Amino acid sequence: MARLERQVAIITGAASGIGLACAERFASEGAVVIGTDINEPGNWQTIQDFSPESWFRTLDVTHADAQREVAQQAVEKHGRIDILVTAAGIGDGGPVSMIEDEAWDRVIDINLKGTYLSIKSVLDTMMAQRSGSIITISSVEGINGTEGGSAYNASKGGVVLLSKNVAIDYGRMGIRSNVICPGFIDTPMLNSIMGAMPEFKADVVRETKVGRLGKAEEVAGAALFLASDDASYITGHNLVVDGGYTAGHRHGVVELMGLV
């Protein structure tokens, strides 16, 4: 039996990258997927091949009314909401003395406020059901600072603590809330940033202990686990999916010892 058979999942940021990978994986496991994004999806047909009842809406996650409308439509069409994955996000930033106020506001609005509004839009339904799994997508940059990433780091750090707070507040109602902190994943957003900074990409790969960028499908696998019954006793957890990037630093010692 598919792990998410007949469950209803809303996934934000589902047009590309991690959100699209989650939509495809969840649909392949039997879920009805409602995808949202400010952009049109690159390949939604794959999701509908797996799950013909799945559908997509274009919206801005910073618009509360649009988020509520999608949640209401999900309940009207399918009777419930079992899963929320908040993958919508943008990368922007710079040192505090250099970032423009408008850029700061945009990153915080989409990455943090957008996550808050996504969660808020499904909570009434999940509370009435006395069940639900909320999975927020943060970043390793939400647990460790990264050079030049003030706004992005702040927004993703906020997502981590917001997710834990939801776990605390709603756990007795049968609602689980967990957060995934991906490392550097090969997605259009990351490539748009790294394209102009090849030295940065090389350093990231060097500090990722498995020696490569991650794949969106690898994050989707972690999200599937957290959404499934296999994670029924897991809430308030921060699952790092980063190829060992945050495990610690390498200084060439093992090479000197002949290990590699």
92-112 pLDDT tens trace: 878 999 999 999 999 999 999
The confidence band for 258, taking pLDDT boundaries of 50, 70 and 90, is: confident
- At 253 the pLDDT is 80
CA–CA gap between residue 38 and residue 33 (Å, rounded): 17
7-65 tens-digit pLDDT:
999 999 999 999 999 999 999 999 999 999 999 987 888 999 999 999 999 999 999 99
Amino acid type, 256: L
Identify the sign of the CA torsion 155, 158, 162, 164: positive
Strands (E), 123-235: 132-137, 175-182
Q: Is the pLDDT of residue 145 over 90?
A: no
How far, in Å, CA of 35 to CA of 135, rounded?
14
**CA–CA separation, 114 and 87 (whole Å):** 10
pLDDT at 139 over 90: yes
Report the distance separating Cα 255 and Cα 258, nearest Å.
5
- Mean per-residue pLDDT for 70-87? 98
Under a CB-based contact definition with an 8 Å cutoff, are residues 18 and 216 in contact?
yes
At 55 the pLDDT is 96
Please compute the mean of the pLDDT values over residues 164-170 and round it to a whole number: 98
CATH ID of 8-256, from 3.40.50.720, 3.10.180.10, 3.30.360.10, 3.40.50.10860: 3.40.50.720
Each residue's pLDDT tens digit, 214-241 = 999 999 999 999 999 999 999 999 999 9
| Residue 59 burial (10 A CB sphere; 0-12, 13-18, 19+) | middle
Contact 37, 19 (CB under 8 A): yes
Q: Where are the domains of the chain?
A: 8-256
Map residue 204 onto helix, strand or coil.
helix
CA–CA dist 33, 104 (Å, integer):
31
CA-to-CA distance for 145 and 149, rounded, in angstroms? 7
**What average pLDDT does the segment 171-199 reach?**
86
**Alpha-carbon distance 139 to 195, whole Å?**
19
pLDDT of residue 68: 98
Percent of the chain at pLDDT > 70 equals 99
The band of 195, judged by pLDDT with boundaries at 50, 70 and 90, is low
Gap between the Cα atoms of 42 and 14, Å rounded:
9
Any idea which residues carry the catalytic annotation?
A: 152
Least confident of 19-28, 129-138, 147-156, 170-179: 147-156
CA 260 to the chain's CA centroid: 34
The stretches of 51-181 forming alpha helices (DSSP H) are: 64-78, 101-107, 114-129, 150-170
Alpha-carbon span 247 to 37, nearest angstrom? 33
Q: Which of 39-43, 89-93, 153-157, 182-186 has the highest mean pLDDT?
A: 153-157
How far apart are the C-alpha atoms of 208 and 45, rounded to whole Å?
Answer: 33
Task: Say what angle helices 150-170 and 114-129 make with each other, to 10 degrees.
Answer: 10
**pTM given for the model:** 0.94
